[in-house]
A and B are shown apart, each in its own frame.
Chain A
Amino acid sequence: MRYPLAEVKRFEINGYAQGTTYKVTYYAADSIVTQQQTDSLLAAVDRSVSLYSPTSLITKFNHSAKGIIIDKTFMVLIKKAQEINRATGGLVDITVKPLVAAWGFGAKKVTEFPDSAKVREILKHVGPDKIWLSGNFLHKKDPQVQIDLNGIAQGYTADLLAELLEKHGIKNYVTEIGGELRIRGHKPDGEPFKIGIEAIDDNDINPSPLLKIIAPGDRAVTTSGNYRKHLQANGRQISHIIDPKTGYPTQKDIISVTVVAKDGITADGFDNGFVTMGLRQTLDFLSKNGNLAAYIIYKKANGAVADTATANFKTLEVK
Chain B
Amino acid sequence: MERRTFVKSAGLLAGASFLNTTNVFAEDDAAGIIRIGVIGCGDRGKGIIQVLNQLPGKFKVIAVCDVLDFRLDETKKESKDANFTTYKDHRRLLDNKDVDAVVVAVPLNMHYAIAVDTLNANKHLYLEKTMTYDIPQALELVKLVKSKPKQVVQVGHQYRYSPLYYRVKEMINKGYLGDINQIDCRWDRNGNWRRPVPSPALERQINWRMYKQYSGGLMAELLSHQIDFINWAFDTHPQQIFATGGIDTFKDGRETFDNVQVMFRYEGQHSMVGNFGATCGNAHDGYLFKIKGTLGTISLLTDEGKFFPEKKLLSDKTLVDGVTGATRIVWNKEGGSPILPEKTKDGTWYAFNEFYKSVQNKTLPDSNVFTGARTAICVHSANAALYGKMPVTWKPEYDKL
Bits for A3-29, please: 1 = Cβ < 8 Å to B, else 0: 000000000000010011101010000
Q: Cα distance A265–B58 when bound, in Å? A: 54
A213 to B307 CA separation, bound complex (whole angstroms): 26
Pairwise interchain contact A198-B330, C-beta atoms closer than 8 A: no
Q: Point out the residue from B321, B328, B338 that lies within 8 Å of A194, measured CB to CB.
A: B321
Contact of A206 among B174, B321, B323, B327 (CB under 8 A): B174
- B176, A25: Cβ atoms under 8 Å? no
A194-B333 Cα distance, complex, nearest whole Å: 26
Q: Which residues of B contact A213 (CB under 8 A)?
A: 319-320
The answer to whether A21 and B330 touch across the interface, beta carbons within 8 angstroms, is: yes
State whether B330 touches A228 (Cβ < 8 A).
no
Complex formed: what's the CA distance from A193 to B323 in Å? 11
What are the residues of chain B within 8 A of A256 when measuring CB–CB? 326
* Residue interface bits B32-68, CB-to-A below 8 A is 1, else 0: 0000000000000000000000000000000000000
Q: A16-B333, A205-B176, A205-B339 are contacts. A195–B322 as well, Cβ < 8 Å?
A: yes
Measured CA separation A229–B329 after assembly (Å): 9
Chain A residues with Cβ below 8 Å from B327 are 19-20, 154, 178-179, 228-229
* Cβ A222 vs Cβ B319 within 8 A: no
Number of chain A residues close to chain B: CB under 8 A = 37
Task: Return chain A residues, CB-CB under 8 Å to B330.
Answer: 16, 19-21
Check if A223 sits within 8 Å of B176, measured CB to CB.
Answer: no
Q: Are B329 and A196 in contact (CB under 8 A)?
A: no
Residues of B within 8 A of A210 (CB): 317, 320, 323
Bound Cα distance from A205 to B306, whole angstroms: 9
Chain A's closest residue to B339 (CB) is: A205
CB of B272 within 8 A of chain A? no
Known: A16-B333, A206-B176. A196 touches B322 (CB 8 A): yes
CB distance from A70 to the nearest CB of B (A): 24
Say if the beta carbon of A180 comes within 8 Å of chain B: yes
* Count of interface residues, chain B, beta-carbon cutoff 8 Å: 22
A154 to nearest B CB, angstroms? 7
The answer on a CB contact under 8 Å between A195 and B337 is: no
With A205-B176, A205-B339 given, is the CB distance from A223 to B325 under 8 Å? yes
Please indicate the chain A residues that have their CB under 8 angstroms from the CB of B333 in the complex: 16
B320 touches A196 (CB 8 A): yes
Q: Which of B321, B325, B339 meets A193, CB within 8 Å?
A: B321
With A25-B322, A181-B322, A210-B320 in contact, do A204 and B174 touch (Cβ < 8 Å)?
no
Q: Check A174/B323 contact, CB under 8 A, given A20-B328, A206-B176.
A: no
Query: Counting CB contacts under 8 A, is A183 at the interface?
Result: yes
A248 within 8 A of B: no
Q: Does any Cβ of A come within 8 Å of B335's Cβ?
A: yes
Partner pick for A176 among B319, B322, B329, B337, CB 8 A cutoff: B322
> B317's closest neighbor in chain A, by CB?
A196
Which secondary structure dominates where chain B touches chain A?
loop
Which of B174, B317, B328, B337 has the most CB atoms of chain A within a 10 A radius of its CB? B328
Interface string of B301-326 (1 = CB under 8 A from A): 00000010000000001011111111
Counting CB contacts under 8 A, is A313 at the interface? no
Q: Is B142 positioned at the interface, with any CB of A under 8 Å from its CB?
A: no
Residues of A160-181 at the interface with B, using a CB-CB cut-off of 8 Å, are 174, 176, 178-181
A38 at the interface (CB under 8 A from B): no
A221 at the interface (CB under 8 A from B): yes
Q: Is the CB of A179 within 8 A of B321?
A: no
Residues of chain B with a CB closer than 8 A to A197's CB:
323-325
Whether B323 pairs with A229 at a CB distance below 8 angstroms is: no
Q: Does A224 contact B (CB under 8 A)?
A: yes
Q: Please, which residue of chain B has its CB at the minimum distance from the CB of A154? A: B327
Known: A16-B333, A204-B337. A195 touches B320 (CB 8 A): yes
A273 contacts chain B at the CB level, 8 A cutoff: no
A198 CB contacts on chain B under 8 angstroms: 323-326
Residue A225, interface by CB 8 Å:
yes
Contacts of B7 in A (CB 8 A): none
Say yes or no: B324 contacts A180, CB within 8 Å.
yes
Known contacts A19-B329, A20-B330, A205-B176; decide if A221 and B324 are in contact (CB<8 Å).
yes
Q: Is the CB of B324 within 8 A of A181?
A: yes
Do A25 and B321 touch (CB < 8 A)?
yes
Contact partner of A179 among B319, B323, B337, CB < 8 A?
A: B323
- Is the CB–CB distance between B324 and A21 below 8 Å? no
Cα distance, A221 to B333, chains bound together (Å): 24
Kindly list chain B residues whose C-beta atoms are within 8 Å of the C-beta of A16: 330, 333
B171 in the interface, Cβ–Cβ < 8 Å? Answer: yes
- A258 close to chain B: CB less than 8 A: yes
Q: Are A225 and B325 within 8 A (Cβ)?
A: yes
Assess whether A227 is interfacial by the CB under 8 Å rule.
Answer: yes
Q: Are A179 and B326 in contact (CB under 8 A)?
A: yes
A192-248, CB < 8 A from B: 193-198, 204-206, 210, 213, 221-229
- Kindly state the separation between the CA atoms of A210 and B324 in the bound complex, as whole angstroms: 10
Report B324-356 CB contacts with A as 1/0, cut-off 8 Å: 111111100101011100000000000000000
Given contacts A194-B320, A223-B324, 10 further A-B contacts (CB under 8 A): A16-B333, A23-B322, A183-B322, A195-B323, A198-B324, A198-B326, A205-B307, A205-B339, A213-B319, A228-B329
Q: Which residues of A contact B (CB under 8 A)?
A: 16, 19-21, 23, 25, 154, 174, 176, 178-181, 183, 187, 193-198, 204-206, 210, 213, 221-229, 256, 258
List 20 A-B residue pairs with CB atoms under 8 Å apart, sorted by A's residue number: A20-B330, A25-B321, A179-B326, A179-B327, A181-B322, A181-B324, A195-B324, A196-B317, A196-B320, A196-B323, A196-B324, A206-B176, A221-B322, A221-B324, A222-B324, A223-B326, A224-B326, A228-B326, A228-B328, A229-B327
Closest 3 CB pairs of A and B: A198-B325, A225-B326, A196-B320
